Structure 1
């Protein structure tokens, strides 16, 4: 089914990825325009501004293209959740984990064909509620623990990019981490957990290609809850390596649950994050919004 008359608005955040995002857009823009599609570009000066631009474009009946990494994809995807606006992704960030979950092609010409000709498909989004984020909607995962600390370190590491920044951030976080005592409530049922992290995953990937929740699906109306328990540091590093393949879920120290609403609490101030841009402290509730966003993939 062909859609040659699609009208696109690309939203680029120059502060995140800078010239990388603009270069990625240029490569996809040419085949889109050659196919007769209309494309306009909006440059935002913050994530809030990007969300506003996306909403306005959606109200004009345009397909919104989020150009950048998981922060802008999640921020714009969250803003468009429940609005009926169609979202397309042009991955140009450090992690691109949600684009990876959707199986989006990395070749710009092939990606342009997806954006031009594929019918929109509904995916789930995740509503986050906490004292800080009264109602924030994201796409990928909510993670509370050592990985949120690692992500903060990675975001503030100017010298490294991509997986290297996450790895360096991870080493720094693990070196200082003390296992926390969590209370995890999954669809009303409480679970005690002592360890490194709790991840409520809508997407299989996080942290620049790490397969944290191999069975997570973006369109099944459920979140995978991955809990990594306290373990000797040496074993934890082995487990971190296994995140590349998803083999960690077979270890005794890893428990996987499934549910629609997850409440995560801890006995001390534990950081949590989501989609690279959300940074706060527990407690938090993550609730799946089934099929709330139409995406081209």
Structure 2
């Protein structure tokens, strides 16, 4: 029977994370599995706890949203240790890309019985992140500002917080001039954002890169050019279906190594965490993470 270590960040969505874990934990234990819970003090502490649990051949459960999933998944990238997700955050976008169910009983069955699947991760390298692995996407521009606003709000949850953050960010955003290098080929771009995506989703279910796959060894690069704000608001609505990629203002490229630079200190984020500015390099790490899904 499998042995699990669940890692929870009590400072971020504590009530929701605890409730989600309690339901799944009861089902795992009733089936005979061993489950131990660790409460992290920070994302770095969560990464350390994950590595220690993996070294003891325990399956590591990341309990929460994309921030803790990305941090723990990144820590396990390339180690051969196994990750499980208990989605309990604002976005849960990587869990969505893996088609993980919301129903606790269905999720418990996956964690108990499914074989690990190899998926890709992204190696992020910048002055702030010296070769850090993340899961879903790296985004540089207005969406990083929007995500910062969403993370700070306490009045809204889920997609509503991201939409409100997006409206606030777009209202004050000035297009930036980017240099985007995809597998050695340089592309000049002036606009709202550049997103390097391993997963189709970001921002609580918004399908920024509809063709992205977590196991194809490639990263999708979505660039949204400068346009009137009214058009960008329409484009934001189209993110729910992925139809924005058909607009002439949107360019989609694919590659294995992408470097993003800008003419000013443009903020970028990864997996829900925003704490750095360009430039940044993102590299696909094919099959680097084993996850139950």
TM-score range normalised by the length of the shorter chain: over 0.9
Deviation at 1:229?
A: 0.5
Cα distance between partner residues in 2 of 1:20 and 1:46: 17
1:150 aligns with 2:146: yes
Match of 2:252 in 1: 256
1:266 aligns with 2:244: no
Secondary structure in 1 matching 2:201: coil
Give the TM-score normalised by structure 1: 0.98
> Deviation string for 1:91-137 (max 9, x for gaps)?
00000000000000100000000001100000101011111111211
Secondary structure in 2 matching 1:290: strand
Q: 1:206 to 1:226 in 2, by over 3 A?
A: same
Q: What is the aligned residue count?
A: 293
- Asked whether the 8 Å contact 2:144–2:274 carries over to 1, the reply is no
Instruction: Structure 1: give runs of 5+ residues left out of the alignment.
Output: none
Cα distance between partner residues in 2 of 1:229 and 1:152: 21
Which segment drifts farther, 28-37 or 204-213? 28-37
- Asked whether the 8 Å contact 2:148–2:274 carries over to 1, the reply is no
Specify which of 188, 193, 197 is matched with residue 189 of structure 2.
193
1:177 aligns with 2:176: no
Cα distance between partner residues in 2 of 1:113 and 1:121: 15
C-alpha RMSD of matched pairs (Å): 0.7
Cα distance between partner residues in 2 of 1:215 and 1:82: 25
Specify which of 233, 236, 253 is matched with residue 237 of structure 1.
233
Match of 1:294 in 2: 290
1:168 aligns with 2:150: no
1:23 aligns with 2:36: no
Cα distance between partner residues in 2 of 1:212 and 1:51: 27
1:10 aligns with 2:6: yes
Give the TM-score normalised by structure 2: 0.99
1:218 aligns with 2:225: no
Deviation at 1:287?
A: 0.5
Instruction: Structure 2: give runs of 5+ residues left out of the alignment.
Output: none
Runs of 4 or more above 3 Å deviation:
none
Secondary structure in 2 matching 1:190: strand
